[in-house]
Amino acid sequence: MKKKLVSVLLCAVMVSSMLYGCGSKTEEAPAADAATEETAEAEAPAEEAAAEETTEAEAAEINMFISSPEYADAINQLIAEYQKENPNITINYETTQNDYPTLLKAKLNAGECPDIFSSTSGKEIQTYLEYSYNIGSEPISESMSDAVKATMKSGEEVHGFAIKGNYFGVVYNKAIFEELGLEYPQTMSDLEAACEKISAAGYTPFTTGFAEWWVYKHVFQHFLDAAAGDGEVSELVAKFASGEAHFSDYPEIYDDFFKYVDLVVKYGDAKPLETDLAAEEAALASGKVAMVCGQGAWIEADVLKINPDIQIGFDGYPVNDNADVCKVIAGSDQALRVNKDSEVLDATLAFINWWYTSDYGKAWFKDVAGVIPPVKEAQAPDFEIIKQGDAHVAAEGAGALAVTYSTDSFHQAFGEIMQSYVAGTVDKDEACAQIEQKWVELEGSAQ
């Protein structure tokens, strides 16, 4: 997951490949030798032309447009390593975050589908199905972990792969909680009490990230999971998309979610709508902020670069006064796709297969990107969020990855409406009505 529009990152190295040939010598009469030599001379230009055509055919230029700019450096390293082994391949890499769905659709409408592009996994696998190549018979599919593959499927076909697995929850500074004698709160009442104590001690309880539309979807899914209760979250989402369900029917959303947002604004950044991902990471690393809103496992590497000594904690969202629903969420929410009509399809498939199956590619997830590997038998990095996330899931189970049941077109609209709520330009009922309307408009026809 994420910063505002970042610059286009291009990696290109072009070196011609080597062609090998072999020949044999036979014992013939002088006339035959002359004929053979004459034939060889005649064929030489044709062979040279064929060699030139082969070199050109092997060269390929892959266009890669994906979200998740927080992995830009790591992906650049991946591309550079691939080009060491494949110098005739050029990979043009472009990344952005806030306007990604809009910009992607503009490319698709213009007939400029990138060779590799990204979307949310789950429901958006269907949204972009007509553009996506089925990688189910490719080596990458066999290497993919079962949990990740499950969110990349359309029926039995596999139409996506992931940069990472993920954990979602509240990242916090353990040292602040320990200094103040606080346990991480499991209920909303305990969270309010903790915020008061943290604030009184001169620390800022929250950094929000509310400048980013996607932060709201990460928070909201925890409350949506609680609202579903013992039922399927996907079924509840379908009811909202059809107009059958309303926020006012579910106190976990109508009351608890908005109460949480209000609490974060009260005890958060002075200008919450100006705080983005980078600002959140810097705030946590400063040692002056207790909790981070709307983030997850992807921020630890960046935070440690700023402050290697920070003591990171990780837990679920206190939804209400039922501690049982305070759970972390696990899964893979982002899918990378291959353009099925790519003019360099073979080269693109070779690249992604190498990514998931080569020794470097499998080590890249841990050693370079610092993420939960989506690949079988690959080691995870030694990060606190991953270790604590694993422990929480083992002890309490994981919440459903609800963000995958809606498209990013809806999530972006949802985030923008919530930004208006935080700004005070709409009240809670107006925000609820607008979100419900967008859910039906953008998702209802797909049910």
Q: Which two tokens stand for residue 7?
A: 């610059």
The β-bridge relationship of strands 60-66 and 116-120 is parallel
- Give the integer Cα–Cα distance in Å for 190 and 263: 12
To 10 degrees, what angle do helices 213-228 and 408-423 make? 100
10-24, 270-284, 393-407: least confident range: 10-24
Which pLDDT band, with edges at 50, 70 and 90, does 445 fall under?
low
Topology alike, domains 9-15+56-163+334-376 and 170-327+407-446? yes
Q: What is the pLDDT of residue 325?
A: 95
Residue 170, beta-bridge partner list? 315
Least confident of 10-14, 31-35, 330-334, 340-344: 10-14
Least confident of 97-101, 157-161, 193-197, 329-333: 97-101
Q: What is the mean pLDDT of the chain?
A: 87
What are 13-52's pLDDT values in tens digits? Answer: 333 333 333 333 333 333 444 444 444 444 445 444 443 4
Q: Which pLDDT does position 371 carry in this prediction?
A: 87
- Give the pLDDT band of residue 298 (cuts 50, 70, 90): confident
Determine the average pLDDT of the residues in 360-385.
91
pLDDT in tens, 128-137: 999 999 999 9
Provide φ and ψ at 164, rounded to 5°. Answer: -160, 160
| Measured distance CA(154)–CA(352) in Å, rounded | 19
CA 321 – CA 64 distance, rounded (Å): 45
Nearest 5°: CA angle at 360, between 159 and 66?
Answer: 40
- Residue ranges of alpha helices (H) inside 310-383 are 345-357, 359-364
The Cα 101–Cα 92 span in angstroms is 19
Q: pTM to 2 decimals?
A: 0.75
pLDDT of residue 58: 79
How confident is the model over 369-380, as a mean pLDDT? 88
Rounded to 10 degrees, the C-alpha dihedral 283/288/294/300 comes to 70
Question: Quick check: 170 pLDDT over 80?
Answer: yes
Question: Mean of the pLDDT values across residues 317-341?
Answer: 94
User: Does pLDDT of 330 surpass 50?
Assistant: yes
Residue whose tokens read 């604004």? 265
Taking the alpha carbons of 66, 69, 74, 77 in that order, is the dihedral positive or negative?
positive
Which CATH class for the 170-327+407-446 domain?
A: alpha beta
Confidence of residue 301 (pLDDT cuts 50, 70, 90): confident
Report whether CATH 3.90.400.10 matches the domain 9-15+56-163+334-376: no
What is d(CA 250, CA 256) in angstroms, rounded to the nearest whole number? 9
Give the residue with greater pLDDT, 301 vs 97: 301
65, two tokens: 């447009």
Percent of the chain with pLDDT over 90: 72
**Spans of all domains in the chain:** 9-15+56-163+334-376, 170-327+407-446
pLDDT at 8: 35
Starting at the edge strand found earlier in the chain, the sheet holding 289-292 runs 204-207, 289-292, 170-173, 312-315
Whether residue 138 is predicted with pLDDT greater than 70 in this model: the reply is yes
Q: What is the pLDDT of residue 345?
A: 97
Distance between CA 442 and CA 408 in Å, rounded? 10
Q: For the chain, what is the total number of helices (H) and then of strands (E)? A: 19, 13
The model's confidence at residue 229, banded by pLDDT at 50, 70 and 90, is: very high
Give the dihedral sign, CA 349/360/128/89: negative
pLDDT value at position 270? 95
* Residue 303 confidence (pLDDT): 95
Question: Is 157 or 380 the better-scoring residue by pLDDT?
Answer: 157
Which pLDDT belongs to residue 31? 40
Averaged pLDDT, 94-119: 91
Please give the share of the chain, as a percent, with pLDDT higher than 70. 86
Q: Is there a contact between 174 and 315 (Cβ–Cβ < 8 Å)?
A: no
